[in-house]
């Protein structure tokens, strides 16, 4: 029993780490030379972009060439972008997300074991229930945390856009 529980926890940690820590090499480099900041928006990230003409584009970001990107089904030159909104890739975000999701899954598993060992007594049911609620919120915060970090990068505020192919 103990060996299978340890193997289960190791499996959860391995899966959550490998799924959430994948690195991409293609995307858009967003730089602000005034503030000395350089960020990276990965390919296949959901973005919203605005052109110099005022068109609004929404969809997944794909890199066509060094001068052109695709957003959804529309191809646009990087020089024609006035603003792009999306999540920048940050290793700290990946680590934070992995820790939240893995910790939440571990706590949910522990609550399940407590419930199973309590053999459906009222005390075991209540304690497992009150452990599962915070665990579910930890998993939710970890999985959805990246969506709260969306940023606007406007050319008028000094941001420049370059495609990275490799």
Q: What's the pLDDT at 106?
A: 75
Same domain, 78 and 157: yes
For 15-44, what is each residue's pLDDT tens digit? 656 555 555 578 888 888 888 888 888 888
Same domain, 47 and 30: yes
Same domain, 83 and 29: yes
For 39-62, what is each residue's pLDDT tens digit? 888 888 888 899 999 899 999 899
List helix spans (H) across the chain.
2-20, 91-117, 122-144
Q: What's the pLDDT at 12?
A: 66
Count structural domains, the chain: 2
- Percent of the chain whose pLDDT exceeds 70: 59
Residue 64 lies in a domain: yes
Tell me the angle at which helices 91-117 and 2-20 cross, rounded to the nearest 10 degrees: 160
Same domain, 135 and 159: no
H/E element holding 81?
strand 81-86
For 120-156, what is each residue's pLDDT tens digit? 555 555 566 666 667 766 666 666 655 555 677 788 8
Give every CB contact of residue 71 below 8 A, 6+ residues apart in sequence. Answer: 47, 49, 57, 58, 59, 60, 61, 62
Domain around 71: 25-87+153-164
Same domain, 80 and 105: no
């Amino acid at each position: 029993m103990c060996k299978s529980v340890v193997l289960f926890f190791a499996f959860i940690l391995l899966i959550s780490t490998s799924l959430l820590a994948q690195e991409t090499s293609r995307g858009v480099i967003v730089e602000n030379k005034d503030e000395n900041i350089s960020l990276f928006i990965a390919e296949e990230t959901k973005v919203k972009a605005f052109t110099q003409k005022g068109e609004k584009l929404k969809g997944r970001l794909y890199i066509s060439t060094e001068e052109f990107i695709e957003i959804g089904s529309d191809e646009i030159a990087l020089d024609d972008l006035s603003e792009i909104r999306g999540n920048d890739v940050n290793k700290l975000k990946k680590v934070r997300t992995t820790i939240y999701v893995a910790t939440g899954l571990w706590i949910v598993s522990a609550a399940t074991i407590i419930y199973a060992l309590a053999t459906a007594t009222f005390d075991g049911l209540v304690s497992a229930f009150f452990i599962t609620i915070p665990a579910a919120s930890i998993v939710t915060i970890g999985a959805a945390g990246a969506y709260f970090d969306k940023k606007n990068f406007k050319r008028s505020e000094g941001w420049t856009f370059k495609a990275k192919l490799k």
